[in-house]
Amino acid sequence: MGFDDEVTTGLFRPTEDHEAIREAVRELCDDKVAPLAAEVDERAEFGWASYEALRAGEFHAPHVPEAYGGVGADALAVAIVIEEVARACASTSLVPAVNKLGSLPWVLAGSDELKQRYLPRLARGEAMVSYCLSESEAGSDAASMRTRAVRDGDGWVLDGAKRWISNAGVSELYTVFAVTDPAAPRGKGISAFVVEKSDPGVSFGAPERKLGIKGSPTCEVYLDHVRVPADRMIGEEGGGFALAMRTLDHTRVTIAAQAVGIAQGALDATLAYVAERQQFGRAVADFQGVQFMLADMGMKIEAARQLTYAAAGRSERDDPDLTWFGASAKCFASDVAMQVTTDAVQLFGGYGYTRDYPVERMMRDAKITQIYEGTNQVQRVVMARQLLRR
């Protein structure tokens, strides 16, 4: 688990090209996304204007390979994009994050025909994609899912309900995991399919009333006798659960990046505030107790960022220790985001508790990074198992 190879390959330390991407995304987000963040949160509606800004800059799905009309950004570049968007608006950062989550199974295991059919639509921004794994009784225990897919002639018929689906309703495409062989050993009888929003029998529940990331709708996805052709199966029959877990190994890096971005946005806002706010005849930033808090915030963010970038390098190469690095980066960065945003609210004092300033929104947004794509308790289970296997 050493880092030497990361430094020499440039995948641990960003290259000049990576930094150029960061500068471009930051400029776009400062101009087009950040000014809308409070309104997106207040209205609890998908931020279409922010989406169009990302689409115009080709930052809505930067992971799509060039062969399918995408920009072909590597895993570190994608992490930087998500980090910078989250610095401005956590809800909007779920556009590139969820697009990668939903479509990575296609990239990893989809047929050439399936990739040619759907990835160009994603690259052009004509469609977004969501990832449908969780159910009301199958969250951390995803292998207990009840959604069924039954063979019917030359296709499959899907019935069930998926819950906690990010960007449900606004996405046109859905990667759905369903049980195709109930008699198979645990986790072995699950397969993955592409479902289209327009397929008869697809419907959505009301958006969840959430604490944070309100500009990214989270809904149930209902599948009522939804028939899909056989060529929409992703990978091999019965390989869906392994594919879902492999996908999460990669995409936990994106949640770590989102957490780093939220924390950085909170620190940036706090630094500006404490430098201007006067108490006892001096700037709040002049007090040593405040400086200690700022130092801890910056230190933790940078540690989380470096761990996230190290994990991104593993993701790009699909290294055997990716499971460890993906889980640890997601767990550590999200805990840091919660700590940093909470301290940011504290340093703003009473103002931090109001919607007049962005840090209360950032604190609410940070919380979900400790929960989705595997709770941090689950991440620790994953890490412990990896350590014990060594």
The phi-psi region of residue 235 (left if phi > 0; otherwise alpha if psi is between -120 and 50; otherwise beta) is left
Tokens of 337: 């985001």
Q: Work out the burial of residue 49: count CB atoms within 10 Å of its CB; fewer than 13 is exposed, 13-18 middle, 19 or more buried.
A: middle
Tokens matching residue 332: 């550590």
Q: How far apart are alpha carbons 326 and 250 in whole angstroms? A: 7
Alpha-carbon Rg for the chain in angstroms: 21
- Where does the chain show beta strands of DSSP type E? 129-132, 148-152, 155-166, 173-179, 190-196, 202-204, 218-229, 233-234, 278-279, 282-283
Tokens 């776009």 correspond to 28
d(CA 385, CA 36): 42
- Contact predicate 84/73, CB 8 Å: no
DSSP string for residues in 207-265: PP--SS-TTS-EEEEEEEEEEEEGGGEESSTTBHHHHHHHHHHHHHHHHHHHHHHHHHH
Q: Which residue has the tokens 């199958």?
A: 138
Catalytic residue among 135, 220, 316, 373: 373
Who contacts 356 (Cβ-Cβ below 8 Å, separation ≥6)? none
Q: Which residues pair with 219 in a beta bridge?
A: 165
Tokens at residue 72, please? 């072909």
Verify whether residue 27 is a known catalytic residue: no
Q: Are strands 129-132 and 173-179 parallel, antiparallel or unpaired?
A: parallel
Cα(44)–Cα(49) distance, integer angstroms: 14
- Work out the angle between the directed axes of helices 288-317 and 322-348 (0-180°, nearest 10): 160
**What is the helix, strand, coil percentage profile of the chain, to 5?**
60, 15, 25
Q: Which residues are catalytic?
A: 373
